[in-house]
Amino acid sequence: MFDNIRQDLTAHGGDWGAQGFWALVIYRFGRWRYTVRPALLRKLLSLVYRILYKFVQIITGIELPCEVPIGRGFVIEHSGGIVVSGFASFGDNCRIRNGVVIGLARVQDPCAPQMGNDVDIGTGAKLLGNIRIGNRVRIGANAVVITDIPDDSIAVGVPAIIKPRK
């Protein structure tokens, strides 16, 4: 847990005050609590996690449940209005900004986007449904992505138009 927190701090430029860093600290704590063996202690830590999670969600506007697998170097660049489904996943060196929603297309279909490595998601982008985002992908501000994006691509517009990166 502490190695991941150190890497998160480095990824956020050493800024202890970054709200994205706060959200990741609570996220790391939430993942770590699953490793605690005595069930009673784990339940107590789960209560602490839920309180801290709600506090960070209210203060920063970042909803990042601990069920989401994320890779190293994950950065939440700006806080506010960020919602990530518990069914999503992120590779290494991903970056998201404020207003991003990564979630389900339909409640009946609990599948959310799966991100590759080095994915950069612009402000206000919406990624919905059972889609795969490839490696080294850039998603523009306010893009609405509802289809797969191959490696080394750019997605812009509503609905997103996918173009190869040059």
Fill in the DSSP letter of residue 109: B
CA 162 to chain centre: 22
What pLDDT shows up at residue 38? Answer: 95
Given this structure, which CATH class describes domain 2-164? mainly beta
What pLDDT shows up at residue 78? Answer: 87
Fill in the DSSP letter of residue 13: T
CB 102 within 8 A of CB 120: no
Residue-wise pLDDT tens for the chain (166 aa)? 889 899 999 999 999 999 999 999 999 999 999 999 999 999 999 999 999 999 999 999 999 999 999 999 999 998 899 999 999 999 999 999 999 999 998 888 889 999 999 999 999 999 999 999 999 999 999 999 999 999 999 999 999 999 998 7
